[in-house]
């Protein structure tokens, strides 16, 4: 799939088939995503993978931290959860560069997954910012959770939603 088509066709998936994702495929996708540009080749990311019964730890943490309880049966139906984490650098520039690099990593992962017929939803719900949630899933106090990725084969692919033409957001400076 040409990259432009993959960018335009990729969708956030909210309903997954119960089919498992092969660990080899997941590792391949993560390795592809690791080619994301990152300043100084710091590769600031690390991950926590929640699969099988390990998802229960994550679901318990979600329900202890979310404002409204989530349906644990529905949450267990998501084949894979992946926490994307960076070290929280005290230097502002480096922290922002690392956050941008991790965001690029996630986008690379989503596009590589989409090419393989795998869907992703990137969660940054309010509970993901709570220190007690982060600690309960294994994020250290010196780290930042970039988000949780729900990963699986799409059961339903939503229609594309329109985008604002970039011309409406573009300022062109032609003279001094």
What pLDDT score does 170 carry?
97
pTM value is 0.94
Give me the mean pLDDT over the 134-163 stretch: 97
Residue 38 has phi, psi (to 5 degrees) of -150, 135
- Residue (of 108, 114, 153) closest to 1 by Cα position: 114
- Residue 44, C-beta contacts closer than 8 angstroms, at least 6 positions apart: 38, 86, 87, 89, 98, 101, 102
Predicted confidence (pLDDT) per residue in 2-46, tens digit: 899 999 999 999 999 999 999 999 999 999 999 999 999 999 999
Predicted confidence (pLDDT) per residue in 72-117, tens digit: 999 999 999 999 999 999 999 999 999 999 999 999 999 999 999 9
Dihedral of the CA atoms 97, 122, 12, 50 (nearest 10)? 130
Give me the mean pLDDT over the 143-163 stretch: 97
User: Can you read off the two tokens belonging to residue 28?
Assistant: 């391949």
**Residues 59, 70: contact at Cβ < 8 Å?**
yes
Predicted confidence (pLDDT) per residue in 109-136, tens digit: 999 999 999 999 999 999 999 999 999 9
Predicted confidence (pLDDT) per residue in 45-74, tens digit: 999 999 999 999 999 999 999 999 899 999
């Amino acid at each position: 799939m040409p990259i432009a088509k993959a960018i335009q066709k990729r969708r956030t998936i909210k309903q997954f088939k119960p089919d498992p994702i092969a660990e080899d495929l997941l590792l391949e996708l993560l390795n592809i995503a690791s080619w994301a540009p990152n300043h100084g080749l710091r590769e600031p990311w690390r991950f926590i993978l929640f699969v099988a019964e390990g998802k229960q730890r994550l679901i318990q943490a979600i329900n202890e931290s979310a404002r409204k309880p989530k349906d644990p049966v529905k949450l267990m139906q998501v084949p894979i959860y992946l926490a994307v984490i960076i070290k929280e650098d005290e230097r502002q520039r480096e922290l922002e560069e690392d956050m941008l690099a991790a965001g690029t990593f996630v986008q690379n992962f989503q596009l590589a997954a989409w090419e393989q017929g795998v869907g992703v939803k990137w969660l940054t719900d309010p509970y993901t910012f709570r220190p007690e949630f982060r600690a309960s899933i294994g994020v250290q106090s010196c780290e930042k959770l970039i988000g949780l990725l729900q990963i699986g084969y799409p059961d339903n692919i939503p229609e594309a939603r329109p985008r604002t033409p970039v011309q409406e957001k573009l300022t062109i400076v032609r003279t001094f």
